């Protein structure tokens, strides 16, 4: 019985995800000069990964998308499209197209900044990265 439960649990683990982390933004506010740093570890040198940027939003966020820049050795730009619930409340957002990222070492730091016209973006509670093999 225990072996069956362990087998069931192990089948639920997503083995395609190499890294998944979110960072909370203080007071649900992201300003133009604010940078989030993601320390990537245990990447396979030379392997190309798919990176998706994710976010969580509150009712105070006034837009249906968020443009961001991600910087490592190269600079990437992507847009998060934000989904709504039935009451029109923005909940989650994610980049639809992955950023193709080739690991140039086993450890890297990726930096993410907002790339919108407004200086202050209110209503963003979390920003995260999901990296898949």
Number of domains in the chain: 1
pLDDT of residue 104: 86
Q: What is the pTM of this model?
A: 0.82
pLDDT of residue 8: 47
Does position 7 have pLDDT exceeding 50, yes or no? no
Specify the long-range contacts of residues 91-94, CB closer than 8 Å, at least 24 apart: 91/56, 91/57, 92/54, 92/55, 92/56, 92/57, 93/54, 93/55, 93/56, 93/57, 93/65, 93/66, 94/52, 94/53, 94/54, 94/55, 94/130
Tell whether 74 is covered by a domain. yes
Tell whether 40 is covered by a domain. yes
The 10s digit of each residue's pLDDT in 51-91 is 999 999 988 898 989 999 999 989 999 999 988 776 666 57
Tell whether 24 is covered by a domain. yes
| Percent of the chain clearing pLDDT 90 (strictly above) | 63
Does position 10 have pLDDT exceeding 50, yes or no? no
Tell whether 42 is covered by a domain. yes
Tell whether 56 is covered by a domain. yes
Question: For position 52, which CATH number holds?
Answer: 2.60.120
Q: Across-strand partners of 50?
A: 100, 132
List the domain range (segments joined by +) for residue 70. Answer: 16-132
């Amino acid at each position: 019985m225990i072996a069956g439960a362990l087998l069931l649990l192990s089948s639920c683990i997503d083995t395609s995800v190499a890294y998944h982390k979110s960072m909370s933004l203080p007071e649900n506010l992201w300003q133009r000069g604010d940078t989030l740093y993601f320390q990537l570890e245990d990447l396979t040198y030379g392997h190309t990964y798919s990176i998706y940027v994710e976010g969580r939003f509150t009712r105070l966020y006034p837009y249906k998308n968020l443009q961001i820049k991600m910087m490592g050795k190269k600079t990437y730009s992507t847009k998060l499209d934000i989904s709504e619930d039935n009451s029109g409340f923005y909940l989650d957002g994610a980049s639809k197209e992955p950023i193709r990222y080739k690991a140039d070492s086993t450890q890297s730091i990726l930096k993410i900044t907002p790339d919108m016209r407004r200086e202050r973006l209110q209503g963003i509670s979390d920003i995260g990265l999901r990296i898949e093999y």
